[in-house]
Amino acid sequence: MLANGTTLPLTLTYDQLVTLRQPIVYIWSRGNTVLYVGMSNEGIARPITRSHEKIGQFQPGDTLTIHAAPDAKGTEEALIRQLRPRLYATGPCRLRCPVCRLPKRIQGEAYCSRCAQSQPSRSRCQPVTPSAAS
């Protein structure tokens, strides 16, 4: 038995294991305050690891809510906009989308994945090709 009363071994069926490996979004809360929203395309391995850059600071009384999300990236971005997690406001991420102010941008792009879809292609980062001299 673990210190919190949870017992091991934990027995999982094949279907339960498949469910735990699907793309997810997760919400870390402390009381009524949402601290962090994240996503994983590999299931619950990322949010439950001790070395997670944010959730490694999980404390007694905190909760981690996990949702299945076939479009984990899009769902994560929507939840960040909706819930405004505290650690995003003060976190180390300084690359914000200029449209929605989401603190994540696609690498090499000017916008987050949601806003990039609605922007004209000329506004995305593209290599500049020299014009032919006439």
The number of folded domains in the chain is 2
Q: CA 112, 82, 62: angle at the middle one, nearest 5?
A: 110
Task: Tell me if 133 is assigned to some domain.
Answer: no
Task: Tell me if 6 is assigned to some domain.
Answer: no
Task: Tell me if 29 is assigned to some domain.
Answer: yes
Task: Tell me if 118 is assigned to some domain.
Answer: yes
Q: Assess whether 76 and 98 both reside in one domain.
A: no
The SS3 of residue 115 is helix
Q: Assess whether 71 and 107 both reside in one domain.
A: no
Round to whole Å and give the CA distance between 40 and 21.
9
Q: What is the pLDDT of residues 22-71, one digit of tens each?
A: 999 999 999 999 999 999 999 998 888 877 777 778 889 999 999 999 99
Residue 111 has pLDDT above 80, yes or no: no
Residue 31 belongs to what domain range?
Answer: 14-92
Residue 88: pLDDT band with limits 50, 70, 90: low
Helix-strand-coil split of the chain, %, nearest 5: 30, 15, 55
Q: Assess whether 69 and 98 both reside in one domain.
A: no
Quick count: other Cβ atoms within 10 Å of Cβ 36? Answer: 24
pLDDT score, position 81: 87
Task: Tell me if 128 is assigned to some domain.
Answer: no
Least confidently predicted of 81-85, 91-95, 105-109: 91-95
pLDDT score, position 102: 66
CATH number of the domain encompassing residue 54: 3.40.1440.10
The SS3 of residue 18 is helix
Residue 19 has pLDDT above 50, yes or no: yes
